[in-house]
Amino acid sequence: MVDFRLNEEQEALRASVRDFAREQVAPVIGKHYESESFPYDLVRQMGKMGLFGLPFAEEHGGMGGDYFTLCIALEELARVDSSLAVTLEAAVSLGATPIYRFGTAEQKEQWLPRLTSGEGLAAFGLTEPGSGTDAAAIRTRAVLDESTNEWVINGSKAFITNSGTDMTLLVTVMAATGTNPDGSKELSTIIVPAGTPGFTVAPAYSKVGWCASDTHELSFDDVRVPAGNLLGPRGRGLAQFLRILDEGRIAIAALAVGLAQGCVDESVRYANERQAFGRSIGNYQAVQFMIADMDMRAHTARLGYYDAAARMLAGEDFKRYAAIAKLNASNAAMENSRYATQVHGGYGFMNESAVGRFYRDAKILEVGEGTSEVQRMLIARGLGL
């Protein structure tokens, strides 16, 4: 019989992150959201808790856990705030994991201790102004200058999380490094440290949601880095990033479940407090049914990412299940944020309310790390269509 209950260690992690989110994050995150400021103090506290090292081996400064433990932490953070949750997700799943999985011993030794401790953040440089889902359309180029044994990079990236903070250490950049025998672009991944001459970070975007997270457009103008900054074999960049995105979809599903569950939490609390016509609105069946549906969506979406994570950790083919988890969870987050706003009425439309932030944060979950349409394509392909 399949048992989806967490073990004692996992429950302890969940409780620790839940307490942190409720006691440290909830009282202050609204101000960061409204001022669009990055919550450095909270991020550093997360580093001290070991959250940035959850899925990494202890030899690299990690906590010796696995990817599922990261997902547990993401869900609990997102029950209160998605900006902090996506900061952790991008730093670990998209930032440090490529180096952990594909880096040389020297690259791991140079970067991972600071990334797994939360001392520094890494960013994932895939999306460009003219290419997102179609990664093969990337226009950023890197040419190897054999006279200096350096890569010379030119191009730009868009919507890159954790790319412009005072803690940002590097960006892993996917660039065209040549042409394959079939005429397609040879795509490779190159580590570009923050502060490298010619590497420019544009002002932060003004976003609809995730307003306390860090997101920028990046430009590379004859940026030179050592040839040894190539991450993994030359020409394997696309395969590397697709693997990272497959895993990342499970993490985003966990984040989406957290948001969906946060909508349930806030709606139950408010429905029991808010009085209308002489009794709490939680006594009215119309409100009860909305909250019941919200709880159903959060629960079933949680089972989806649990299953996908279990398959990944078992070494099975998990691509289709990750797509199912991400699609279902992002749908749940969108629907629950809409329902929660309805339960809260006018208060739900205020930015100062948690559900107002949830409503603004939910939409990007249907876009980031593969749109809902891409997830359906992946599911169909996995079925042999």
CATH number of the domain within which 138 lies = 2.40.110.10
347/341 Cα distance (integer angstroms): 8
Burial of residue 146 (CB within 10 Å: 0-12, 13-18, 19+) is: exposed
Per-residue pLDDT at 6: 92
Give every CB contact of residue 240 below 8 A, 6+ residues apart in sequence. 98, 101, 102, 189, 231, 232
The answer to whether residue 85 sits within a structural domain is yes
Are 243 and 220 in the same domain?
no
**Active-site amino acid positions:** 369
Give the domain-ending residue among 214, 235, 256.
235
Helix axes of 237-273 and 354-362: crossing angle, nearest 10 degrees: 150
Are 248 and 359 in the same domain?
yes
Are 109 and 203 in the same domain?
no
Question: Which CATH number does the domain housing residue 263 bear?
Answer: 1.20.140.10
Give the domain-ending residue among 193, 209, 235.
235
Are 257 and 360 in the same domain?
yes
Are 286 and 198 in the same domain?
no
Question: Which CATH number does the domain housing residue 54 bear?
Answer: 1.10.540.10
246 and 311 Cβ atoms separated by less than 8 Å: no
The answer to whether residue 115 sits within a structural domain is yes
85/97 Cα distance (integer angstroms): 16
Give every CB contact of residue 207 below 8 A, 6+ residues apart in sequence. 36, 215
pLDDT in tens, the chain (385 residues): 678 899 999 999 999 999 999 999 999 999 999 999 999 999 999 999 999 999 999 999 999 999 999 999 999 999 999 999 999 999 999 999 999 999 999 999 999 999 999 999 999 999 999 877 777 789 999 999 999 999 999 999 999 999 999 999 999 999 999 999 998 899 999 999 999 999 999 999 999 999 999 999 999 999 999 999 999 999 999 899 899 999 999 999 999 999 999 999 999 999 999 999 999 999 999 999 999 999 999 999 999 999 999 999 999 999 999 999 999 999 999 999 999 999 999 999 998 899 999 999 999 999 998 999 999 999 999 999 9
Number of separate domains in the chain: 3
Give the domain-ending residue among 209, 235, 261.
235
Domain range holding 314? Answer: 239-382
The answer to whether residue 1 sits within a structural domain is no
Torsion sign over Cα 229, 131, 129, 167: negative
pTM, to two decimals: 0.96
